[in-house]
Amino acid sequence: MVGICSYAGYIPRYRLNRMTIFSAIGWFNPAIIMNAAGDKSVANCDEDAITMAVAAGSRCLRGFNPQDLGAVYFASTTAPYKERQNANIVAGALAAEEEIRTADFAGSVKSGTSALLAALEYSAAEKGKEALACAADCRMGKVGSVQEMVFADGGAAIMVGGKDPIAIFKGSYSLSCDFVDHLRGANSKYDRQWEERWIRDLGYDRLIPETIQGICRKFDLEVSDFHKVVYPCYYGGARKNINRKLGLTPEQVQDDLMMDVGDTGSAHPLLMLAKALEDAVPGERLLVLSYGNGCDALIFEVTEAISTYHDRLRVTDSIKNQQELDSLYKYLSWRDMLPLEIGMRGEEERLTRWSLVWRSRKAILSLQGSRCLECGTQQYPPQRVCVNPDCGAVDRMEKVILATKKGKIVSFTSDLLAATINPPAIYGNVDFEHGGRCMMDFTDCVLDDLQVGMDVRFSFRIKYFDSKRDTTFYFWKAVPVKEVPTDG
């Protein structure tokens, strides 16, 4: 029997209070006051669906060996690449081997559960081999739209396998139909949607109950047999209707995180599942649904193994690690929704040389360095000649993954001259735990957070975006540890 072996959710650090949005644009569309309660999570300007999937994935893999993974799947409707498989970037950043299966799941916010189902089916077919499903979204709403209010940024990751699962996969049921409540064409940045009443009454209010009834029929279960029902629906009224229609008790319904986070698209069912698993006890039966041009439904049964499972990153903690983004201008600038004058320094050529990237892909993607077999000196990027002046051995290196290690700040600064859409650029020298040094960008922090000697962790981020060639390039940045929530 295969099932969930590990899970993690990732909510980016910034929050935009919905009243901040309303007070800026409510004059234009007063009706959005209906959605103006709470905060929405906002990815930093160096985050996107890929980096948030990696953030969730790397936390999910803590205590496991990424080299055991047989498949890495990535789901998103906001993947940065249409071609150049996004899952490969995620798998590389997680230091998975290259002899694995990877796939992107897209086209609907249902894609998160599609990826999870594919991972479960892979694992079942491969005698319980571990597979990772990561989902993340960074959707944007047009200024003054309901989507601007409810869409949020975040990621989630579920690792499945046959070895001591904390929740066994009992089966699934899917409903697929071309119900076009909203769409985003291949060349569009924003959603276009049909009338909200129709989406509510014929979409959520009908497809979700039908799917739940369908899976109950298929497995001869009653709705009351589930301890938790996890489903996304950002229309509060429709959610109440669905609960009433199905006879769900308040205890059965998993909170949809709309007040603290918002709707994270493809990631949302998995994020809510991760939250449900935080509080789950052995023997509980969970029902997880996605919604998007139909629904997927999955049943899990929580096992004894959950009592010894340590949360990798509690969604609860990720929610708590927050910083208010006090300016809507900042959000709009980060998302390229305003023409920002970045200056001529920011217009310098950024051609990405792919043959070079290929040769150095492990150093770039998983922060792979080398350790000298003669003197033990750890160094980054990988060296052929040992840097230790007392050693100097040639071609006597073994590989070492540094992304998951801690680091310490050696020096730092905050630079107002560097071209960035989020000045000042903060960077400095960082020593890796057990040796090695790298001058790195810092992220998710301000100057006052930093001190020489302080611990940092490494976070996979956007290094630059070459708008001329529509190329996003990724690398690791340092995050001061006090900014990272406790790992449970």
- Binding flag, residue 453, other proteins (CB under 8 A): yes
Sequence-distant (≥ 6) Cβ neighbours of residue 60 within 8 angstroms: 6, 7, 8, 132, 134, 157, 158, 159, 312, 313
Rounded-to-integer distance, Cα 463 and Cα 472, Å? 8
**Rounded least distance, CB 118 to other proteins, Å:** 32
| Cβ closest to other proteins, residue 38 vs residue 428 | 428
Choose which of 85, 316, 429, 471 interacts with other proteins (CB under 8 A): 429
Helical packing angle, 86-93 and 49-60, nearest 10°: 40
Q: Is 253 or 387 the residue whose CB approaches other proteins more closely?
A: 387
Please tell me whether residue 280 adopts helix, strand or coil conformation: coil
The answer to whether 447 contacts other proteins (rule: CB under 8 A) is yes
Contact call for residue 101 and other proteins (CB under 8 A): no
Number of residues that bind other proteins (CB under 8 A): 49
**Minimum CB distance to other proteins, residue 398 (Å):** 16
Of the two residues 31 and 340, which places its CB atom closer to other proteins in the complex?
A: 340
CB 297 within 8 A of CB 289: yes
- The two tokens of residue 330 are 């900042």
Among 2, 475, 479, 484, binds other proteins (CB under 8 A): 475
Binding to other proteins in span 342-361, by CB under 8 A: 343-345, 348, 353, 356-357, 360
Q: Does 377 bind other proteins (CB under 8 A)?
A: yes
Q: Is residue 23 involved in binding other proteins (CB under 8 A)?
A: no
Task: Pull the structure tokens for residue 367.
Answer: 């922060």
Tokens of 75: 């789901």
Does 284 sit near other proteins (CB under 8 A)? no
CB of 426 to other proteins, least distance (A): 9
CB of 347 to other proteins, least distance (A): 9
The answer to the question of residue 438 lying near other proteins (CB under 8 A) is yes
**Nearest distance, CB of residue 432 and other proteins, angstroms:** 9
Comparing CA positions, the residue from 444, 377, 435 lying closest to residue 402 is 435
Binding mask 400-419 for other proteins (x = CB under 8 A): ----------xxxxxxxxxx
Is residue 380 at the binding interface for other proteins, with CB under 8 A as the rule? yes
Q: What separation in angstroms does the CA of 125 have from each of 1, 96, 102, 158?
A: 11, 20, 15, 18
Q: How far apart (Å, rounded) are the C-alpha atoms in residues 303 and 274?
A: 15
Distance CA 36, CA 150 (A): 9
Q: Which residues of 463-486 are buried (b: 16+ CB within 10 A; e: fewer)?
A: bbbeeeeebbebbbbbbbeebbbe
Please, which residue, 245 or 437, has the CB nearer to other proteins? Answer: 437
Report the residue from 463, 471, 481, 487 that binds other proteins according to the rule CB under 8 A: 463
Give residue 205's identity as a one-letter amino acid code: D
CA 182 distance to own-chain centroid: 23
Least Å distance, CB 478 to other proteins, is 9
Interface positions with other proteins (CB under 8 A): 343-345, 348, 353, 356-357, 360, 363-364, 377, 379-381, 383, 387-389, 410-420, 424-425, 427-429, 431, 435-441, 447, 452-453, 463-464, 473, 475
